[in-house]
């Protein structure tokens, strides 16, 4: 984490956690299957885990998914991606998604800082 004081990622994660638990309770098999897919898709292969988190983060920005942004920003930080790499990935998201990414890209950077 950098010296930035944003709490965007934690705020989103804390808001979603209780309602996500409720959904997991209602459809545990579906949620488990998704978690298994996530684990396989994000495992190191031809791409390392940090690169996969950066890809997921850029896609999350273009899809405007706050929960995904919080999750993959945290994942990128944990897997060793740098703040500069996150910022550059946001540049690609802006290229591919235009104006909307200029709103969600800063959210991703704030979530990374968190």
The most confident of the ranges 16-25, 44-53, 64-73 is 44-53
The answer as to whether 75 is a domain residue is yes
The answer as to whether 2 is a domain residue is no
Over residues 10-26, the mean pLDDT reads: 88
The answer as to whether 65 is a domain residue is yes
Q: Please report the pLDDT score of residue 1 as a whole number.
A: 45
The answer as to whether 3 is a domain residue is no
Structural domain harbouring 66: 8-113
The answer as to whether 36 is a domain residue is yes
Query: Which pLDDT band, with edges at 50, 70 and 90, does 55 fall under?
Result: very high
105 near 93, Cβ under 8 Å?
yes
pTM over the 0.75 mark: yes
CATH number for position 54:
1.20.1290.10
What digits encode the pLDDT tens for the residues 71-111?
A: 999 999 999 999 999 999 999 999 998 888 888 889 899 99
Report how many domains make up the chain.
1
């Amino acid at each position: 984490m950098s010296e930035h004081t944003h709490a965007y990622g934690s705020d989103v994660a804390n808001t979603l956690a209780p309602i996500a638990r409720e959904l997991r309770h209602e459809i545990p098999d579906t949620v488990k299957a998704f978690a298994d897919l996530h684990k396989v898709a994000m495992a190191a292969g031809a791409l390392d885990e940090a690169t996969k988190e950066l890809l997921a983060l850029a896609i999350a920005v273009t899809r405007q998914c706050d929960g995904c942004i919080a999750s993959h920003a945290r994942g990128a930080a944990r897997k060793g991606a740098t703040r500069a790499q996150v910022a550059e990935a946001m540049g690609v998201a802006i290229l591919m998604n235009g104006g909307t990414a200029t709103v969600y890209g800063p959210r991703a950077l704030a979530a990374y800082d968190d």
